[in-house]
Chains A and B, each alone.
Chain A
Amino acid sequence: EPEVTQTPSHQVTQMGQEVILRCVPISNHLYFYWYRQILGQKVEFLVSFYNNEISEKSEIFDDQFSVERPDGSNFTLKIRSTKLEDSAMYFCASSPNRVNTEAFFGQGTRLTVV
């Protein structure tokens, strides 16, 4: 069964450092997303990406965040200068269509900023 894969599973970084979280969406999907879940809180939308551009972003997704699809398979989330409050589980998701029906999620990357 096709799945969304994320690497690494756990990333520890020092405050102020840049991190790149990587995702391989399902191959025939067209829409890609990043969500995050701070411990004990709800899953929050960060950004959606389609046709090589951001289609929607939340207020969380400020200038410190960026996304890229550098080739035909990878989808990355970059945080330029990490803050303590960026510590969370980051989930990548993909869907075959624009309306978020049955978005498939990866297993997540736990980011810990120290």
Chain B
Amino acid sequence: DQQVKQNSPSLSVQEGRISILNCDYTNSMFDYFLWYKKYPAEGPTFLISISSIKDKNEDGRFTVFLNKSAKHLSLHIVPSQPGDSAVYFCAASVFGGSNYKLTFGKGTLLTVNP
């Protein structure tokens, strides 16, 4: 039951270029979305989030776009840096109610080449 899907297991980009990581979801109850970054042997680190009342949220080099009608979100990293090389997880949540959990996608391994 993949409620959150990251269909690209890996992505390779050149330093300085844009990285675009994609995520799709199937559960229409999700209304809060997060991106986490994970380095090997470390836990996921929060990057950026977006509520369903917005379609864009920006934080420095990171921008998340949400298309509710398509149940799709994307993370843009501009410009990409070698230190951005990591696994990126998309996660979704129901804001409020009795739902306390994050539902994760399988992750996309981003490699930024110098």
Interface residues, chain A, with chain B CB atoms under 8 Å away: 4, 6, 31, 33, 35, 41-45, 48, 50, 55-56, 58, 91, 93, 98-108
Interface residues, chain B, with chain A CB atoms under 8 Å away: 32, 34, 36, 41-46, 49, 89, 91, 93, 95-96, 98-107
Nearest residue (CB) in A for B106 is A42
Q: How far is the CA of A56 from the CA of B101 in the complex (A)?
A: 8
Q: Are B44 and A105 in contact (CB under 8 A)?
A: yes
Q: Are A102 and B34 in contact (CB under 8 A)?
A: yes
Q: How far is the CA of A41 from the CA of B2 in the complex (A)?
A: 12
Which 7 residue pairs of A and B lie closest in terms of their CB atoms, listed nearest first? A105-B43, A48-B100, A45-B101, A43-B104, A42-B106, A56-B100, A100-B93
Q: Are A100 and B32 in contact (CB under 8 A)?
A: yes
**A-B pairs under 8 A by CB, number:** 70
Contact of B103 among A45, A48, A98, A103 (CB under 8 A): A45
* Chain B binding surface, main DSSP class: loop
Q: Are B100 and A31 in contact (CB under 8 A)?
A: yes
**Residue of B36, B42, B102 contacting most chain A CB atoms (<10 Å):** B102
13 contacts between A and B (CB under 8 A): A42-B104, A43-B89, A45-B102, A48-B100, A55-B98, A99-B93, A99-B96, A100-B102, A101-B49, A105-B43, A105-B45, A108-B41, A108-B43
Q: From residue B81, how far is it (CB to closest CB) to chain A in Å?
A: 21
Q: Are A101 and B32 in contact (CB under 8 A)?
A: yes
Contact of A98 among B34, B42, B100, B106 (CB under 8 A): B100
**Residue of A41, A103, A108 contacting most chain B CB atoms (<10 Å):** A103
